[in-house]
Structure 1
Amino acid sequence: MPLRQAATAAGLVTGYVADAVFGDPRRGHPVAGFGRAAQALEQRVWADSKVRGAAYTAVCAGTVTGLGVAAQLLTRKRPFARFALTAASTWVVLGGRGLAAEGTRMARLLDDGDLPGARQRLSHLCARDATGLDTEQLARATTESIAENTSDAVVAPLLWGAVAGIPGLLGYRALNTLDAMVGYRSPKYANFGWASARADDLANLVPSRVGAALTVASAPLAGGFAGPAFRTWRRDGKHHPSPNAGQVEAAFAGALGVRLGGTNSYGGRTERRGVLGDGREPEPVDVRRAVRLSRAVGLAALAVAVAVTR
């Protein structure tokens, strides 16, 4: 393996370990800073226009990706610097520890029967309206969010870092953050957020399917079976309105032997999704199993990323 390639691979591993041990930086998180800057720009340029939204996406994601390109070029002949910047970038963009922590908190609240606390805490995982959700519905929402974010916050950044280095890590996280900010099918963002949502869909097209395949392979580590995970993924993955989220959610449903999907509410807007899996409704214990499965998929994704690093 060439030295620069080895430096990138070592940086990915080190950044993954840093996220697993320390989690997100407690102060001055660069992703939060990017979000504040993007929000400030949105307030200045928003219009009910796809063209204006596309320009907004290009400026925000292009600036961050450009910084990554500059870092990649400046470290072309400096392998230790390449390693250090790759490790720092990987740590910043990954969210595996935070995702597992939120899933564990939700499982604890549901075990304790603290539905008001669980409804409030769900906002840390997704934008779903939790008002009136019962234990099974909260467990389903949490399991779905863990599955989707395993792909978005762990698998995809690692793969983009492997094939495109620092620009891939930073550019992917910028697009994913923009999608979370403006990529909604709401009256305000249907047009302005269209480009951000579509760009995020394209960026996750391959990683989501790799994540689903790794979920199948990792199913036994969460007390599940690879066969049902594979069959549910191939049968139900296309039933989700997102071209990517349904892939991993369906694989998780089959791996855990539960039923995901159905009707969700987002800020007063009801969205009826297809049913994923043929098992029972998720329970709090399944949230803990989903956390274990998410961690296993993350490790498998790291191994794949190291193997395909360019």
Structure 2
Amino acid sequence: MTAGMAADLAFGDPRRGHPVAVFGSAVAASENRLYRDSRAAGTGFTALWVSAAVLAGGLAGRAGPVGTAVATFSAVGGTTLCRVGDRIADALDDGDLDGARATLPSLVGRDPSSLDEAGICRAAVESIAENTSDATVAPLFWGALAGAPGLLGYRAVNTLDAMIGYRSSRYARFGWAAARTDDAANLVPARVTALLAGLLSGHPIRAVRAVRRDGGKHPSPNAGVVEAAFAGALGISLGGRTVYPHGVEDRPVLGDGPAPRAAELRAAVRLSRRVQIASGLLAVLAVVRVPSPRAESVPVRS
């Protein structure tokens, strides 16, 4: 797991042939044949692909440390997340609003065409906060619990949620199981992320206050907790009117303070990196096996 995390820190996501992209392409192709507008069909579809990912993780685990390292590198994606955040901040600092808008879809699914600097930064910070949990803390959490099957199984759950876990007319029923499974898989990791964000920002009381007051207002039981923690930790406010391809959502306001700008976006990136490194250390510590005194050899009487 340490080697896989180090590879992500050094290289980020490969531009071509990323295992998650290959998985997503296979899911999209099969959806065309298996889609039915029902929860039962969606549940079977989700179970099929999560099982396939867990099986692939089992095969990777049998390959030993190299297999687990590859599974870790495939499952985590925090470095690319932060690099995109920095590119958006760079464009805004250079006055290149169109360049920032063009980069934003790498992070979020909303329409950037009408967003000003504050709207772009708000969207980017919200995505960085949520994906700090989804792209690093959560896969490492499940990797610490279940090894390579946990890593790839979680990544499958999260990818399915990103693809079909919407409340649109097409996916309200078919994507229901994917969305609910993702909610369950992220329940603990999101709160670990929020805790680390508060502690590592130097403003834990502000973060806790924002989570307790605002975290439950968000439509997602996990994204709201993480976004509120980042908002409180950074002294900004998030939320508001959000335009998606499937419609417009009025999100509740999270945190206190002004809307984020490029400086706050950079601060969110720095906080995300600290949380990712800390979660990697915690995951490795969680799987270290300390020899028990009872396991030591006992002299045999002659």
Q: TM-score of the superposition, structure 2-length normalised?
A: 0.92
Corresponding pairs, count: 288
Contact 2:228 2:255 in 1 (8 A): yes
Match for residue 204 of structure 1 among 165, 186, 208: 186
Which amino acid in 2 is paired with 1:270? Answer: V
Give the drift of 1:70: 3.9
Confirm whether residue 269 of structure 1 aligns to residue 213 of structure 2.
no
- The residue that corresponds to 2:79 in the other structure is 97
Give a deviation string over 1:145-179, Cα, whole Å, max 9, x none: 00000000010001100011011000000010111
Cα distance in 1 for partners of 2:104, 2:251 equals 19
Match for residue 250 of structure 1 among 216, 228, 231: 228
Which amino acid in 2 is paired with 1:197? Answer: A
Q: TM-score of the superposition, structure 1-length normalised?
A: 0.90
- The residue that corresponds to 1:20 in the other structure is 9
Confirm whether residue 293 of structure 1 aligns to residue 241 of structure 2.
no
- The residue that corresponds to 2:54 in the other structure is 65
Cα distance in 2 for partners of 1:68, 1:93 equals 10
- The residue that corresponds to 2:90 in the other structure is 108
Contact 2:60 2:71 in 1 (8 A): no
Helix, strand or coil at the partner of 1:260:
coil
- The residue that corresponds to 1:183 in the other structure is 165
Give the drift of 1:228: 0.8
Confirm whether residue 54 of structure 1 aligns to residue 36 of structure 2.
no
Give the drift of 1:69: 2.7
Cα distance in 2 for partners of 1:266, 1:113 equals 25
Cα distance in 2 for partners of 1:233, 1:196 equals 25
Cα distance in 1 for partners of 2:121, 2:256 equals 16
Match runs of 1:114-129 below 5 Å: 114-129=96-111
Give the drift of 1:268: 5.4
Structure 2 gaps of 5+ residues are 289-302
Q: Which moved more, 1:21-30 or 1:101-110?
A: 21-30
Give a deviation string over 1:98-153, Cα, whole Å, max 9, x none: 00111001101111222222222111001012121111111111000000000000
- The residue that corresponds to 1:6 in the other structure is none
Cα distance in 1 for partners of 2:110, 2:16 equals 27
Cα distance in 2 for partners of 1:201, 1:290 equals 23
Give a deviation string over 1:47-76, Cα, whole Å, max 9, x none: 11111111111111111112223443xx3x
Cα distance in 1 for partners of 2:146, 2:93 equals 42
Which amino acid in 1 is paired with 2:156? Answer: A
Give the drift of 1:234: 2.0
Which amino acid in 1 is paired with 2:281? Answer: A
Give a deviation string over 1:190-239, Cα, whole Å, max 9, x none: 1111111111111001100011001111113xxxx222112112221111
Cα distance in 1 for partners of 2:188, 2:256 equals 26
- The residue that corresponds to 1:5 in the other structure is none
Helix, strand or coil at the partner of 1:235:
helix
- The residue that corresponds to 2:154 in the other structure is 172
Cα distance in 2 for partners of 1:141, 1:125 equals 8
Cα distance in 1 for partners of 2:17, 2:101 equals 28
Helix, strand or coil at the partner of 2:138:
helix
Contact 1:236 1:277 in 2 (8 A): yes
Helix, strand or coil at the partner of 2:240:
strand
Structure 1 gaps of 5+ residues are 1-11, 76-80
Which amino acid in 2 is paired with 1:105? Answer: R
Cα distance in 2 for partners of 1:274, 1:140 equals 13
Larger Rg: 2
Which amino acid in 1 is paired with 2:37? Answer: D
Contact 2:57 2:71 in 1 (8 A): no
Cα distance in 1 for partners of 2:111, 2:173 equals 23
Cα distance in 2 for partners of 1:268, 1:226 equals 36
- The RMSD of aligned alpha carbons is 1.2
Contact 2:110 2:244 in 1 (8 A): yes
- The residue that corresponds to 1:234 in the other structure is 212
Confirm whether residue 41 of structure 1 aligns to residue 23 of structure 2.
no
Contact 1:146 1:294 in 2 (8 A): yes
- The residue that corresponds to 1:86 in the other structure is 68
Cα distance in 1 for partners of 2:46, 2:79 equals 28
Which amino acid in 2 is paired with 1:60? Answer: W
Contact 1:25 1:92 in 2 (8 A): no
